[in-house]
């Protein structure tokens, strides 16, 4: 006796065709990969390179005050010398690393909600900045970048030599 599939089963692609139990995707009109093929694919992806340390992303606030873009982020527990800030006219990259118990004294962890390890954040700026006038300040774990905008109305005279 044949088991008639419902409209929903046909629509969602859960229909089994053939006796070899291959899944058929009704929407794409193709057979899906078997579990064996998926396992082989997963094994290839889990090479040693994929186990590299995960890089965190800083949370930031960015706003404009007059002709200046201000960016603020929390960098508590990090030495100023361990933070790298790279600027171009249209983006800023902040990177560094926060180390937890570098001496290895922790026996048991009960809670670990803070982020420990490398971090990086690249921020696309809404307007061009003057990188020569940019400043960075850190106070009580709060990093503040003061990025003056490029003065597009500034004119200079060029002398002919």
Residue 8: per-residue pLDDT: 56
Instruction: Tally the residues of the chain.
Output: 161
3-state secondary structure of 140: coil
| Exposed e or buried b per residue across 141-154, where buried means at least 16 C-beta atoms within 10 angstroms of its C-beta | eebebebbbeeeee
pLDDT at 20 over 70: no
Alpha-carbon distance 125 to 113, whole Å?
A: 30
Q: What is the mean pLDDT of the chain?
A: 78
Say if CB 144 and CB 137 are below 8 A apart.
Answer: yes
Residue 122: per-residue pLDDT: 95
Per-residue tokens: 134: 């940019």
Domain segments of the chain as ranges: 7-51, 60-102+113-148
Q: For the structural domain made of 60-102+113-148, what CATH number should be given?
A: 2.60.40.790
Residue 46: per-residue pLDDT: 47
Using alpha carbons, list the distances in angstroms from residue 77 to 27, 113, 119, 149: 52, 15, 13, 30
> Quick check: pTM over 0.75?
no
How many other C-beta atoms lie within 10 A of the C-beta of residue 69?
A: 21
The string of pLDDT tens digits covering residues 75-120 is 988 889 899 999 999 999 999 988 876 667 888 888 888 888 899 9
Per-residue tokens: 85: 């800030």
Per-residue tokens: 135: 């400043």
pLDDT at 68 over 80: yes
């Amino acid at each position: 006796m044949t088991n008639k599939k419902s409209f929903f089963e046909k629509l969602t692609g859960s229909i089994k065709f053939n006796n070899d139990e291959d899944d058929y995707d009704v929407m794409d009109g193709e057979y899906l990969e078997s579990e064996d093929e998926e396992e082989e694919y997963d094994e290839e992806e889990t090479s040693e390179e994929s186990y590299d340390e995960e890089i965190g992303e800083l949370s930031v606030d960015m706003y404009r005050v007059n002709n200046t873009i201000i960016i603020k982020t929390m960098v508590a527990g990090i030495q100023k010398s361990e933070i790298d800030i790279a600027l171009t006219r249209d983006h800023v990259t902040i990177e560094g690393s926060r180390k937890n118990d570098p001496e290895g004294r922790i026996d048991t962890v009960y809670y670990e909600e803070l982020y420990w390890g490398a971090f990086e954040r690249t921020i696309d700026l809404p307007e061009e900045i003057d990188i020569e006038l940019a400043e960075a300040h850190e106070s009580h774990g709060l990093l503040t970048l003061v990025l003056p905008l490029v003065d597009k109305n500034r004119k200079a005279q060029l002398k002919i030599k």
